[in-house]
A = this chain, B = another copy of it.
Amino acid sequence: MNKNELLALLQPDIEQINATMRTEISQCGNELLGKIVEYALFNGGKRIRPVLTVLSARLCVFTSMPEGLAQEDELQPPVNLYRLASIFEFLHGASLLHDDVIDKAGMRRGKPSANKVWDNTHVILAGDYLHTSAMTMAGTIGNETILTLIGTATAAMIRAEFQQMQTVEERNLSEENYFSILRGKTGCLISAACEVGACFAKGNEEQRLALRSYGDALGLAFQVVDDLLDYQGDSGKTGKAVGNDFVEGKITLPLIHALKKGEHEKSDQIIGLLKDDASVRADNIGLAKAFIEEYGGFDYARQGAEALVEAAIEALSIFPDCQARQILIGLAQYVLTRQK
């Protein structure tokens, strides 16, 4: 399944998700608040999280249907599933709004970021509004289990942000620490998006666990590829400067591996750069890339991403073959080929 086929299959759900989000936003009760929230949510996001919720639910429903009772494409998800799915986009939007304030960002996806169009006050409050709405929806459209899954994932995101700040400070170079941060920052919310879909569709324990594992591996693979693209991507496509992570002192998998394998002298030189100013690192991106290449850091990370995608697909093997499963497999495979 190539990217265009995937997009075509996802389009109807994405449209429903967008329509649902617009309805929710229109009920926020303050015009300016609605404008900011809409600006944050409709900025070209791929809706990957809510789509995972819808597909996971559909997969569990299809699996539980007596054979031949319904064609899969007749399984119209109830409106509430789209509302439930949009929670993940709300939470994602809330964290992007707060990130923009934190990073004093100027641009987001090629447009001025919300904190530039309005100000920190409005943007922090709009983030809080999305957060509150999402949590209320989680416990009312969903249930106690769903609320707990989402609350746990959100708390894990915040802890991972703290862990990442400490990592930069302590220059912690372990692969374990790296994956722990990835899981908190991205993996938890993605695996929760999948598991919540399964919960909503009354999937059994095995199905919930399988979809959770799928989401976990997918989220990690996505981030490892992100970290590879940071060094190897085409900045015209990614929209980010090459080597940005290194300049910021962020130590990602390719570098972690190379530092472990590299000769002492060369490794020490790179560690010296990590202790230096960002401007010095900016002048030495070429050196860092050559070092990572020499000690197989890029290959190692690429293989790691491939193994994660394989694990994601393997987790789906308990489900019968159907379109929802094919799309989920297609999404996992796409992670390895994406260039932005």
A residues within 8 Å of B by Cβ? 28-30, 32-33, 94-95, 98, 101-102, 120-122, 124-129, 131-133, 135-136, 138-140, 144, 147-148, 150-152, 154-155, 158-159, 161-163, 165-166
Contacts and interface: CB of A to CB of B under 8 A. Distances in A.
A190 to B, nearest CB: 17
B162 A122 contact: yes
Contact of A148 (B102, B126, B140): B140
Nearest to A146: B139
A67 to B, nearest CB: 36
Closest 9 CB pairs of A and B: A136-B151, A139-B139, A135-B135, A139-B147, A132-B154, A102-B121, A30-B162, A129-B158, A30-B159
Contacts of A94: 128
Contacts of A136: 135, 147-148, 150-152, 155
Copies of this chain, whole number = 2
Contact of A128 (B126, B131, B148): B131
Contacts of A158: 33, 125-126, 128-129, 132
B98 A128 contact: yes
A28 B151 CA distance: 12
Contact of A140 (B29, B128, B140, B144): B144
A225 to B, nearest CB: 26
20 contacts: A28-B159, A29-B155, A32-B166, A33-B162, A101-B120, A102-B120, A121-B161, A121-B165, A124-B124, A128-B131, A128-B154, A131-B132, A133-B151, A135-B136, A135-B147, A136-B151, A138-B139, A139-B139, A139-B144, A147-B147
A54 to B, nearest CB: 22
B101 A129 contact: no
Nearest to A138: B139
A133 B144 CA distance: 14
A159 B29 contact: yes
A140 to B, nearest CB: 6
Given A136-B148, A136-B151, A140-B144, 11 more contacts: A33-B158, A102-B124, A121-B161, A122-B162, A122-B165, A129-B155, A131-B131, A133-B151, A133-B155, A136-B152, A140-B148
A162 B126 CA distance: 9
Contacts of A138: 139
A252 to B, nearest CB: 20
A110 to B, nearest CB: 24
A154 B125 CA distance: 11
Contact of A124 (B98, B122, B132): B98
Nearest to A149: B136
A292 B29 CA distance: 33
A139 B166 CA distance: 32
A14 to B, nearest CB: 26
A155 B126 CA distance: 10
B151 A132 contact: yes
Most chain B beta carbons < 10 A, residue from A126, A128, A140, A166: A128
B151 A135 contact: yes
Contacts of A154: 128, 132
A99 to B, nearest CB: 9
A131 B94 CA distance: 12
